[in-house]
Amino acid sequence: MRVAGVVLAAGAGRRFGKPKALVDYRGTLLVDRAARVLTEGGCAPVLVVLGAAEAEVRARAELRDVAVVSNPDWNSGMGSSFRAGLAALAAEPEDVAAALVLPVDMPGVTAEAVRRVAAHAAPDALAAASLEQRRSHPVLLGRAHWRGAAADAVGDAGARRYLRDHAVTLVRCDGVSEGFDIDRPADLDSG
């Protein structure tokens, strides 16, 4: 049984001033860092969903050992990237039992957090990292949930509404992961 990784990296980063996939964080582009964390955490395959400035991201990022998914509807919000990633995974064999989703702008998430959440993989599983008893990222969705979660993913909500309406196993990741995200240039000093 395999767990696929999905990096949501298609947004324009309006508050940041440029696409977050192109943001350098401690010497590495956020998109490369997120893909590496999923790979090192045991995810296979790893998909990176791109949209805004896709050509520039492809030119500048390493995107090593990942499949790139183009999201032409990226401007409609993160929900479209979430749907694009899950749609691409639907073609994977049934041994891909779950998808572990990580937004590109969360560099505090570690491979250990990915492994802990991925350990709960099953076709009917819903799990998420927990930091200080609050749901965080990454989020794991078993294959049986892909269709329903994709249907609920609109605007910038991603799977939020779907997860709110279903039982989610919280996986304690305190001490091995940080839940900050990069929204503005000043956030680069976090963590």
Upstream peptide bond of 185 is cis (omega within 30 degrees of 0): no
Report how far residue 126's alpha carbon sits from residue 141's, in angstroms, rounded to the nearest whole number.
Answer: 5
pLDDT of residue 181 exceeding 70, the answer is: yes
pLDDT of 155 reads: 83
Question: CB count, 10 Å around CB of 72?
Answer: 11
Nearest to 170 by CA among 124, 91, 113: 113
pLDDT of 16 reads: 92
Q: What is the CATH code for 2-175?
A: 3.90.550.10
Annotated domain spans of the chain = 2-175
Tell me the β-bridge partners of 68: 48
* pLDDT, tens digit, 9 for 90 and up, residues 29-61: 999 999 999 999 999 999 999 999 999 999 999
pLDDT of residue 190 exceeding 70, the answer is: no
pLDDT of residue 66 exceeding 60, the answer is: yes
Burial annotation 155-182 (CB, 10 A radius, 16+ → b, else e): eebbbbbbbeeeebebbebeebbbbebb
Report how far residue 39's alpha carbon sits from residue 41's, in angstroms, rounded to the nearest whole number.
Answer: 5
Show Cβ contacts of residue 188 under 8 Å, excluding neighbours closer than 6 positions.
Answer: 23, 25, 182
pLDDT of 154 reads: 86
pLDDT of 120 reads: 98
* pLDDT, tens digit, 9 for 90 and up, residues 140-160: 999 999 999 999 998 887 788
pLDDT of 160 reads: 87
Once rounded to an integer, what is the mean pLDDT over residues 82-105? 95
Report how far residue 53's alpha carbon sits from residue 9's, in angstroms, rounded to the nearest whole number.
Answer: 10
Nearest to 5 by CA among 52, 81, 67, 79: 67
Once rounded to an integer, what is the mean pLDDT over residues 79-92? 95
Once rounded to an integer, what is the mean pLDDT over residues 107-118? 97
